[in-house]
C-alpha cells in the first residue's frame, strides 16, 4: 500500500492557536484526507513544542511553573483542533516521556560518534528566537525578527559539528531537486549554503535555563530547543511502534511556513545524517498570512481565532477561503471582505444554489425519486461527464504540487459547467411537455451525479460539506473517492428535499464583525 506521512510544526505553547497555526494544520488535514480518499495510508502528526526560554518566561509571567503552563496551552491547541474537526493521528508534546527518551538517545549517539564537542562561545543572543546571531545578521544591534536588543553572551557550551555535513547536504539538494519545495525556498537554502556552515550550539547551561531536556552526557546542561523539537517527527513514529518508523519515515512530508526554513532545511537534515538516519522525503514550505488590519472587524480584533471563525461562519467556509486564497509558497493577505465575497460567490451562490435547485426540481417533478440516467450519448451529457473527469484528473495533478487553490478552482470550473448544463438543457421548461418527462429525469440524474462528484472531490478540503452532500443525496458516508461517472443512484433511490448548505454571509465590517 502506498504510504505518506505529513507533519505540521509543533507549535510553541507561548501563544494561543491563531490563523497561521490553523492554516498549516488545515493543509496537513486536507492532505491526509485527500491521500486517504485515493486509497493511500496517510499518517498525520501535529503537537506542541514546550521547552525553552520563551515558554519558561511566559510561565513566569503567569506565575505558574512551566509544566502547568504548557499543560494548559497544549490542551488548548489540542481541543481547538478537535473542535475544528482536524483528523490528526497523533498529537505529540515535547514534554512526553517517550519523546524525551528519543532525544536523549539521539544526543548520546551523536556525542559517542564524536560529532558533539565542548567549547566556548560568545555571541549575540535573541531570547525570542532562542538563537545566537552574528553581528552581520543583526540590524542596528537588534534581532531582525523581534526588533529587540540582542544580548551579548559568553559561555561554555556543547556544539554539534554541523559544518562537517555541509557538502553532503549540498549534494543531496542537488541530487534531489524536490527535497525543498517550492523552488524559491530551495534557492534560499542553496544560498545559505554558499557561506561556510558554522557548528551549532546545542546546549544551554542550567544556571541560565532549567526548562529543557538534560544532556545525557552532562547534567549541568539542557538541550537547545530546536535540537529537542525537530526530533519529534521521529520520536512520534517510534512511539507508534511496530514497523512504523521504517514504513512512514521514508515518505515524510514536513509542512512549515518560511519562518522556520533554516532549522528544517539545514539543522534537521544534518542532525539526521549525524544520527545515521535517512533524510525525510520533502520539505513543503508555505508563505505568510499578512493581516489586512484596516479591514478587520472590531469584535474580532486583529487576531483571527479558528474557533471564532468556525462559530460565526462554519469551519468549511473558513477552510475554503484559506485554501482557495493562498498560493502555496507565497504570502497572502487575510481580509474579511475577501472572505465574505469568496464564500458568498463560490459556496453560497454557486455550489449551494446548484444543490438546492436540483433537489427542489427532483422533489417537485419526481417526488425525490431519481430517474434513469439514459445512455448519456447526447453531446451536452457527454460534455458534462468530460468536464468532471477532467476536474478529477486536474485535482490530482495540482495536489501533487500542493496547488490547493488550483485544485479547488478545477472543481469549481466543473460546478460552473453544471450550471451551464442546466441553462442549456432547461429542465424547468421541458417539464411542461409531458412526453419530455423521461428526458427531464435524465437531465436531473446528470446534475445529481455532478453534485455527488463535486461533494466527493471537495470532501478532503471541506469535510463537513462532503458529508452533508452525501446525506442530502441519500448516499452512505464514505472517505474514498469513486472518480467515475454514473452508477451512484440505484433504481428507486430517493434524495432529500433541499436544505441550505451555505447561508449567505450578510454582515458587513460595519456591523462590528
Binding site for ligand ME8 (CB under 6 A): 9-12, 20-21, 23-24, 49, 229-230, 232, 256-257, 259-260, 288-289
The minimum distance between CB 40 and ligand ME8, in angstroms, equals 23
User: Of the two residues 48 and 410, which places its CB atom closer to ligand ME8 in the complex?
Assistant: 48
The distance from CA 442 to its chain's CA centroid, rounded to whole angstroms, is: 40
User: Of the two residues 260 and 275, which places its CB atom closer to ligand ME8 in the complex?
Assistant: 260
User: Of the two residues 230 and 459, which places its CB atom closer to ligand ME8 in the complex?
Assistant: 230
For 10, residues 6+ apart whose C-beta sits below 8 A from its C-beta are 46, 47, 48, 49, 92, 94, 229, 232
Q: Which three cell numbers stand for residue 489?
A: 443512484
Give CA–CA dist 435/227, Å, rounded. Answer: 75
Is 502:317 a contact under the CB 8 Å cutoff? yes
The minimum distance between CB 226 and ligand ME8, in angstroms, equals 7
User: Of the two residues 141 and 144, which places its CB atom closer to ligand ME8 in the complex?
Assistant: 144
The minimum distance between CB 158 and ligand ME8, in angstroms, equals 20
Q: What are the E-state strand segments in 357-489?
A: none
The minimum distance between CB 327 and ligand ME8, in angstroms, equals 13
Q: Among all residues, which ones are annotated catalytic?
A: 18, 21, 126, 129, 143, 146, 295, 298
The distance from CA 401 to its chain's CA centroid, rounded to whole angstroms, is: 14
Q: Where does 6-120 have alpha helices with state H?
A: 19-37, 53-61, 66-83, 97-112
Give CA–CA dist 97/479, Å, rounded. Answer: 34
Strand partners, 494: 369
- Nearest-CB residue for ligand ME8: 20
Give CA–CA dist 93/99, Å, rounded. Answer: 8
The vertex-446 CA angle with 443 and 452, nearest 5°, equals: 145
User: Of the two residues 10 and 202, which places its CB atom closer to ligand ME8 in the complex?
Assistant: 10
The minimum distance between CB 195 and ligand ME8, in angstroms, equals 23
56-88: burial string, b at 16+ Cβ within 10 Å, e else? bbbbeeeeeebeebbbebbeebbebbeebebbb
The minimum distance between CB 310 and ligand ME8, in angstroms, equals 18
Amino acid at each position: 500500500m502506498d504510504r505518506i506521512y505529513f507533519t505540521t510544526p509543533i507549535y510553541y505553547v507561548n501563544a494561543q492557536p491563531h490563523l497561521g497555526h490553523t492554516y498549516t494544520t488545515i493543509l496537513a488535514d486536507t492532505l491526509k484526507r485527500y491521500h486517504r480518499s485515493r486509497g493511500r495510508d496517510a499518517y498525520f502528526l501535529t503537537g506542541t513544542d514546550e521547552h525553552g526560554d520563551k515558554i519558561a518566561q511566559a510561565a513566569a509571567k503567569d506565575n505558574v511553573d512551566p509544566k502547568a503552563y504548557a499543560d494548559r496551552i497544549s490542551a488548548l491547541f489540542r481541543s481547538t483542533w478537535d473542535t475544528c474537526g482536524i483528523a490528526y493521528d497523533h498529537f505529540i508534546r515535547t514534554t512526553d516521556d517517550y519523546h524525551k527518551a528519543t532525544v536523549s538517545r539521539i544526543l548520546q549517539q551523536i556525542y559517542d560518534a564524536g560529532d558533539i564537542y565542548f567549547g566556548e562561545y560568545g555571541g549575540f543572543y535573541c531570547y525570542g528566537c532562542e538563537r545566537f546571531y552574528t553581528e552581520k545578521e543583526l540590524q542596528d544591534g537588534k534581532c531582525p525578527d523581534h526588533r529587540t536588543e540582542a544580548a551579548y553572551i559568553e559561555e561554555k557550551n556543547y556544539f554539534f559539528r554541523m559544518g562537517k555535513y555541509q557538502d553532503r547536504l549540498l549534494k543531496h539538494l542537488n541530487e534531489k531537486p524536490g527535497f525543498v519545495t517550492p523552488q524559491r525556498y530551495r534557492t534560499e537554502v542553496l544560498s545559505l549554503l554558499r557561506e561556510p556552515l558554522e557548528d551549532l550550539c546545542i546546549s544551554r547551561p542550567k544556571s541560565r535555563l532549567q526548562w529543557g531536556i538534560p544532556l545525557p552526557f552532562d547534567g549541568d546542561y539542557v538541550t537547545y530547543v530546536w535540537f529537542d523539537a525537530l526530533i519529534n517527527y521521529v520520536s512520534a513514529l517510534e512511539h507508534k511502534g511496530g514497523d512504523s518508523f521504517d514504513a512512514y519515515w521514508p515518505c515524510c512530508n514536513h509542512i512549515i511556513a518560511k519562518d522556520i526554513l533554516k532549522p528544517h532545511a539545514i539543522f534537521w537534515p544534518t542532525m539526521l545524517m549525524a544520527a545515521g538516519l535517512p533524510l525525510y522525503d520533502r520539505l513543503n514550505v508555505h508563505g505568510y498570512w499578512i493581516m489586512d488590519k484596516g479591514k478587520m472587524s472590531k469584535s474580532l480584533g486583529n487576531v483571527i481565532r479558528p474557533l471564532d471563525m468556525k462559530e460565526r461562519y462554519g469551519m468549511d467556509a473558513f477552510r475554503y477561503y484559506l485554501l482557495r486564497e493562498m498560493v502555496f509558497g507565497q504570502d497572502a493577505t487575510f481580509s474579511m471582505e475577501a472572505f465574505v465575497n469568496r464564500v458568498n460567490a463560490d459556496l453560497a451562490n454557486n455550489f449551494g444554489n446548484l444543490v438546492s435547485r436540483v433537489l427542489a426540481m427532483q422533489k417537485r417533478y419526481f417526488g425525490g425519486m431519481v430517474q434513469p440516467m439514459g445512455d448519456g450519448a447526447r453531446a451536452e451529457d457527454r460534455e458534462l461527464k468530460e468536464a468532471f473527469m477532467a476536474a478529477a484528473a486536474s485535482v490530482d495533478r495540482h495536489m501533487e504540487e500542493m496547488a490547493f487553490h488550483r485544485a479547488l478552482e478545477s472543481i469549481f470550473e466543473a460546478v460552473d459547467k453544471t450550471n451551464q448544463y442546466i441553462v442549456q438543457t432547461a429542465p424547468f421548461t421541458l417539464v411542461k411537455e409531458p412526453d419530455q418527462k423521461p428526458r427531464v429525469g435524465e437531465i436531473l440524474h446528470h446534475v445529481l451525479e455532478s453534485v455527488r462528484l463535486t461533494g466527493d472531490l471537495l470532501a478532503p478540503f471541506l469535510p463537513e460539506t462532503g458529508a452533508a452532500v452525501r446525506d442530502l443525496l441519500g448516499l452512505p458516508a464514505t472517505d474514498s473517492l469513486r472518480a467515475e461517472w454514473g452508477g451512484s443512484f440505484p433504481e428507486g433511490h430517493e434524495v432529500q428535499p433541499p436544505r441550505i448548505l451555505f447561508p449567505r454571509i450578510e454582515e458587513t465590517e460595519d456591523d462590528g464583525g
